[in-house]
Structure 1
Amino acid sequence: MTSRALPVEALLVVDVQAAAVSGDRAVPEADRLVDRTADLIARARRGGALVVHIQNDGEPGAGDESHTPGWELHHPVETGPAEAVIRKTVDDGFHGTPLGGLLTDSGVRALAICGVMSEMCVQATARTALARGYRVVMPHDAHATHDIPAAPGISGMVPAAAVSRVAEWALGSELEVAAHAADVAFTAPPRLR
C-alpha cells in the first residue's frame, strides 16, 4: 500500500448507481463508499482530471436494469470536455466501449479507479487498464462489494471487506493501492490542460 500516490490524470467511477448504494441491494457501508467517491470526484474536478462515470446496463430484472431507478448514476455528472459517461454491458469498462479512445485522446497515462463491485467490474476494468500500460491507483476505501454467501462443503461466508482486499491483491504488484481516497492526488491530462 502507498500512503500518498503520485498524481493521476483520470478518475474512473465504476457502477456507482442507485441499486448499488441504496435500498436492500446496497453494498455494506454504502454511505462510506458514497462519501469517498464524492470526495474523489470533487477533487478530480478541481485538479482538472478527466472524470469518467461508468454505468452498467443491467439485464432485465436486475437491480441496474437500463432506464430503471436502480440504473441511475448516484453522483451528478458535470457535462463538459473533462467529464463523460460511458455505458457498458459487461464487467470490463473497456470492452466494447469508447473508454480506451477517450483516455488516449485526452493523453491520460495514470488513472484511479473506484466503485462497485470490487471483484467484478472494478477489478475487470483495472486489469484491462494495467494490460494497456496505464499506471493504476485503487483507493482501498473507495471500492466495495457484497459478502460472499457460505458454500456448504467449501467455505463459510466471506466478508465483503475481505473480498475487496483479495480483488486488489489479485491484480498483482503493478497496481498501486492507496490506503485512503484522500491519498489520491489529481492533475489535468496533457490534452485537457
Structure 2
Amino acid sequence: MTDSAPPAQALIVVDVQKAGVTGGRAVPGAAGLLERTTDLIARARRSGALVVHLQNDGAPGTGDEPHTPGWALHLPVEAGPTECVIRKTRDDGFAGTPLASVLSTAGVEAVAVCGVMSEMCVQATARTALALGYRVVLPHDAHATQDIPEAPGISEAVPAAVVSRVAAWAISGDAEVTASAADVRFAAPRPLPHGRVSS
C-alpha cells in the first residue's frame, strides 16, 4: 500500500486467542505476529478507527472452548464506542454475528484484517467483507497459521508460511495485500445517518 492509498477505518483482529498464540500449539512466529498486531491495534486506536476483536467459541474439548484458558483473548481490549469484542462460532466473522451491523453503523468503508488462522477464519472473514462491498487490506506479516501435516498419497507437509501466502493470494485479486503491517494506515470512520448504504 502506498501513502496515497485511502486508510482503513476499522481493524478486525481475528481470533488472537491464547490457544493459537501461546504454548506448544502456537502458530509459528507467534511472537512477531503479536508484536505487529499490537502495533496495528495501537495505531488504529490513536486514529479513532474502529477495532473489532473476533473471539471464536470452539467446540467442547478444543483449545478455544469457551471459558477455558485457551479461549481467552491474548491482547488487552479497551472496550468502548470504538472497540468491541464479537464472539463467533464459524470461520466467517460475519456469519451469525453483528459484525456487519457494527461496521455499517460506524460508517466504515474499508477494513484491515489480521490474526489467525490465515486460510480459515482470516480468509473467510475477508472474503465476506469483500462480498459486502468493503475495501479490504490484508497485511502479509500480520496473519498466520499452522503447518499442514503430510498426507500420504496426497502431499508432503506444507509449511505454515506457504499456507498463509496461498490464503492471501487466493483473495489478492480483490483485497489489497501489503508486504508489512507497518504499511497499513488508519483513519476514523465518518458515521452515516442510517449506517452504510449498499450499492
TM-score band, normalised by shorter chain: over 0.9
Code of the aligned partner of 1:96: G
TM-superposed CA distance for 1:6, in Å, is 2.7
Cα distance in 2 between the residues matched to 1:79 and 1:21: 22
Q: Tell me the SS of whatever aligns to 1:190.
A: coil
The runs of at least 4 aligned residues of structure 1 exceeding 3 Å deviation read 2-5
Code of the aligned partner of 2:94: F
Cα distance in 2 between the residues matched to 1:187 and 1:153: 49
Cα distance in 1 between the residues matched to 2:176 and 2:141: 13
The correspondence of residues 99-138 of structure 1 with structure 2, limited to 5 A, is 99-138=99-138
Equivalent residue pairs, number: 191
Q: Tell me the SS of whatever aligns to 1:55.
A: strand
**1:18–1:71 contact (8 Å) kept in structure 2:** yes
Q: Tell me the SS of whatever aligns to 1:171.
A: coil
Residue deviations 1:45-66 (CA, integer Å, cap 9, x gap): 0010000000000111100000
Q: Tell me the SS of whatever aligns to 1:136.
A: strand
Cα distance in 1 between the residues matched to 2:149 and 2:6: 37
Cα distance in 2 between the residues matched to 1:3 and 1:72: 35
Could you state the TM-score of these two structures normalised by the residue count of structure 2? 0.94
The correspondence of residues 1-16 of structure 1 with structure 2, limited to 5 A, is 2-4=1-3, 5-16=5-16
Q: Look up the match of 1:158.
A: 158
Q: Given the alignment of the two structures, is residue 187 of structure 1 paired with residue 180 of structure 2, yes or no?
A: no
Q: Look up the match of 1:32.
A: 32
Cα distance in 2 between the residues matched to 1:119 and 1:24: 20
**1:6–1:184 contact (8 Å) kept in structure 2:** no
Code of the aligned partner of 2:58: G
RMSD: 1.1
Code of the aligned partner of 1:74: H
